[in-house]
Chain A
Amino acid sequence: MNPFADAVVMNRDFLRSVFQSMLRARILENKLSSLYKAGKIVGGVYLGRGQEAVSATLGAALIQGTDFFAPLIRDQAGRTAFGEPLIDCTRTYLGSVEGPMRGRDGNIHRGRPSMGMPAMISHLGAQVPLVAGMLFAKRLQGTLTGRVGATCIGDGATSTGAFHEGLNLAAVEGLPMVVVVGNNQFAYSTPNNRQFACADLVEKARGYGVGGFSVDGTDLLACASVICEAVRRAREGGGPQMVVARLLRLSGHGEHDDGAYVPQEIRGGHYGRDCIEVAMRQLVENNLATVDEIFAWQDQFADDVQRAVAQAQQEAVPDPYHEDWTALATRFPLTNFIS
């Protein structure tokens, strides 16, 4: 008996859409990897391979236009599920001026803050208080009820001061926030036993006075059940929630890294399984989708990705001679050229 059977029955459309976001992200990221290896992308490529179930479930559990989602480095699937168009990704990786970052920032450092999806900075944990602030603003404006703000971090980011300060602040304010920790067992190359000393990261939730959940991040049905419950609790006034998802990154830190430091027994172990294969099986076994449907999605998404890449490749890249070279929104009349 599947412990998440109820969730399956209740959420057919939800699970299909989460899986579609997982698949779309995987196909897109495979393409990004090829482009990187072909020398078509300047800068790094960072994949969420193996983390799609967690990320997409969170993105799909949030409501664009109401909720806030601050994705991190391995959240292509969550971005897709939240509603970020594929073209935002390809434009940013390929440096198109039409993209949200206009060539001023690249790869995963992108967002659309005005649609509730801030652009990450590289400093881990920094988005935790930022999302708290977005929610705090809504409280002051009297429109917080029913909203949730969420962000994803990794096991490494739980060691930062920003994570600690941000989660504590969110707890003090009782904000409807969900922090999903994807514990992929390695922060770049550093294993868990050099990162933290508690038995399980979810123990930290208790210390902050926030809700704590653990989930197998390779299991779509488990993710759907647990992450949706955490989001529901936050949305209904239960304060911040922390979800620790156990999984393994099925790639290097970036495409420049072969991840050779991950021992063979971990790769071959339970968390080394591919969440997309697990999810496919779960969908088919529970009559949520057929194999033919999934193949059709795969073809369709491959087309979508191809088009998004082709379009971004045709677009202009930034022109240093037409860049205005100012970091300020204010134009100071007296000192513009030297400010």
Chain B
Amino acid sequence: MSVTYIDAIREAQEKLLREDDRVFLYGQDIATFGGAFKATKGLAAQFPNRVFDAPISEDAMIGMAVGAAIEGMRPIVEMQFADFSSLAFNQIVNQAATHFYRTGVPIPITVRLPSGGTPGSGPFHSQSMEGIYAQYPGLVVLTPATVSDAYHMLLDGVALDDPVIFCEHKFLYRWLKAKSINGDHLPIGQARITRPGKHATVVAYSAMVHEAVRAADRLAQDGWEIEVVDLRSVKPLDLDTILASVARTGRLLAVGEAFPWGGVTAEVVSRVTEEGFHLLDAPPQRLNARDTPVPYHPKLWAAHRPTPESICEALRKLLTF
């Protein structure tokens, strides 16, 4: 018996609907159809009048959720693809994210973003938006990499009083399996040492955690012990865990699937440089997707994002600096 990452997301939503009257689900094709990825499969039948199909109106979907949150609800909005949340950008960053600061009234909405690339998905169904949302004050940005985190972080995220951007990775949906959804259940805001090591630290999140672990496995054959830190939440950012790891290893590589200009990896490198410069034995490195739209063809796509090979190559340079 095994649980996939998408099962975990569905289970979490089922539990939330069962246990919290304030929760409702809103998104395109999520009711009877069960969602483009089946993250809400069967929930409309199980919870009548709690799961609603939305018109193709991303801006209004979030505006509506903010209004419902003001009136005491805890909506979970499914964007069909993270990429389409660009159409809801205004409501997310200007309406939801500013609300508590301006008025003192919190906006507990959760926006689920099916994120990241899969082969053949192309420029508009592959994006990683976490860096963009993390740049705005007033949002919590979560990037679970494991089945257990997908489950527990969705539960914990919905329980927060703040707007939560929940970046779930589409590649992990069915590929990633676990024996159960139980896990260490770390709190939001705490990173995890996924794999301990002593020669270099790779800070990653979401699907890149798994690519980093693969790269670490390969380098282990040459005797290198690579520590992999899974950020889990990119905002808040657990700088303590990152700095502690860099203190042990003296070397840092930040890996992300988003575009290379700015973003989470740049933030990690800049903060470590600022606060842990004395800990570094080599210039901190970043590895991101390439600076083009996400390509359609699987051969191009596979070379667009960081891979175990490119992570190994970056690590070898870092280790031999």
A residues near B (Cβ < 8 Å) are 100-102, 104-105, 109, 111-114, 118-119, 121-123, 126-138, 140-141, 161-162, 165-166, 168-169, 172, 326-330, 332-336, 338-339
Contact = CB atoms under 8 A, between A and B. Distances in A.
Contacts of B235: 339
A100 B99 CA distance: 12
Contact of A133 (B57, B68, B238): B68
Which of B50, B59, B239 neighbours the largest number of chain A CB atoms within 10 Å of its CB? B59
Interface in B29-79: 49-50, 54-55, 57-73, 75
B102 A119 contact: yes
A334 B244 CA distance: 13
Q: Pick the 10 closest A-B CB pairs, nearest first.
A: A133-B67, A129-B63, A165-B60, A137-B71, A165-B57, A133-B64, A339-B236, A327-B138, A129-B60, A327-B137
Contact of A339 (B63, B73, B237): B237
A335 B58 CA distance: 31
A338 B67 contact: no
24 contacts: A113-B103, A121-B94, A123-B94, A126-B94, A129-B63, A129-B67, A130-B95, A132-B63, A133-B69, A133-B70, A136-B67, A137-B71, A138-B71, A140-B24, A141-B71, A166-B59, A166-B63, A328-B140, A328-B162, A329-B100, A332-B189, A333-B189, A335-B237, A338-B236
Contacts of A328: 100, 138, 140, 162
B137 A126 contact: no
Contacts of B72: 137, 141
Contacts of A138: 71
B64 A129 contact: yes
B95 A126 contact: yes
A122 B160 CA distance: 27
Contacts of B75: 133
Interface residues of B, number: 55
Contacts of A161: 59, 87
A100 B71 CA distance: 18
B98 interface: yes
Contacts of A136: 64, 67-68
A212 B65 CA distance: 26
Given A105-B102, A165-B55, A166-B64, 14 more contacts: A114-B105, A127-B63, A128-B60, A130-B63, A133-B66, A134-B70, A161-B87, A162-B91, A327-B138, A329-B160, A329-B161, A330-B140, A332-B189, A335-B236
B268 to A, nearest CB: 12
B71 A335 contact: no
Interface string B101-112: 111111000000
A332 B102 contact: no
A229 B58 CA distance: 32
A5 B257 CA distance: 68
B60 A166 contact: yes
B226 to A, nearest CB: 24
A101 B102 contact: yes
Contacts of A135: 67
Given A129-B63, A161-B59, A335 B238 contact: yes
A126 to B, nearest CB: 6
B236 A132 contact: no
Nearest to A136: B68
A133 B65 contact: yes
B95 A121 contact: yes
A150 to B, nearest CB: 13
Interface in B120-159: 137-138, 140
B249 to A, nearest CB: 21
A169 B55 contact: yes
Interface in B170-202: 187-190
B189 A121 contact: no
Given A134-B71, A169-B55, A140 B102 contact: no
User: By CB atoms of chain B within 10 A, which of A119, A128, A137, A338 has the most?
Assistant: A137
B90 interface: yes
A128 B63 contact: yes
Nearest to B62: A129
B313 interface: no
Nearest to B91: A126
B67 A137 contact: yes
Contact of B73 (A140, A165, A172): A140
Contact of A119 (B67, B91, B103): B103
B67 A132 contact: yes
- Tell me which of B61, B62, B104 has the highest count of chain A C-beta atoms within 10 A of its own C-beta: B104
A324 B110 CA distance: 24
A105 B104 CA distance: 12
Contacts of A334: 187, 189-190, 236, 238, 240
A165 B57 CA distance: 6
Interface centre among A127, A131, A338 (most CB of B within 10 A): A338
Contacts of A336: 236
Nearest to A169: B60
A118 B91 contact: no
B312 interface: no
Given A136-B68, A162-B60, A330-B160, A101 B103 contact: yes
A137 B98 CA distance: 21
A335 B57 CA distance: 35
Contact of A140 (B49, B58, B187): B49
